[in-house]
Amino acid sequence: MAYQKIDKLDKHILRLIAEDARIPFLEVARACNVSGAAIHQRIQKLINLGILKGSKFIIDPEKIGYETCAYIGLNLKNPEEFDSVVERLKEIPEVVECHYTTGNFDMFIKIYAMNNHHLLNIIHDRLQPLGLSSSETIISFNSVINRQLPVKNIQVNDSSEEEQSTEE
């Protein structure tokens, strides 16, 4: 993936919308001292560059009955079937993340289940038939840090090195 350089205005916009994705564009425009049209254009540019990947409401899984969060490292009997396994994982709605990884596993997934029994059923009925040689499950008791990457550390392309190091 290519690194995308942004300017100070882009950074300011990102900081504002990262704090509150529902902030009106006119409020962002006022804070940035530019027109509303300029904000719309910049947001569209950030979307087109792939820096912004949309906005969404975040559902708390526990509030809708998914009390168990688990991370599972998977090893495949036939690693060349990786892409087809990923496609089959996409069909399991409880799988919310899947990562290519280094280390002991071919892939690493995150699952939400209603309880431990439901998790066992997912592993037994949905994951094992994928052709696993082994798996390791880690149950998360609680997420203590869950945040976006800080915008303040993003480099801008219209500042000198000195300005970047002193900027928020």
- The pLDDT tens digits of the residues spanning 105-161 come to 999 999 999 999 999 999 999 999 999 999 999 999 999 998 888 877 666 775 444
Number of folded domains in the chain? 2
Residues 6+ away with beta carbon under 8 Å from 110: 69, 70, 71, 72, 95, 96, 97, 98
The verdict on residue 166 lying in a domain is: no
* pLDDT above 70: residue 44: yes
Query: Residue 90's domain is classified under what CATH number?
Result: 3.30.70.920
Cα(75)–Cα(107) distance, rounded to whole angstroms? 7
Residue 45 sits in the same domain as residue 66: no
Residues shown for the chain: 168
Q: Is the pTM of this model over 0.85?
A: no
Residue 96 sits in the same domain as residue 127: yes
Print the domain residue range for 32.
1-56
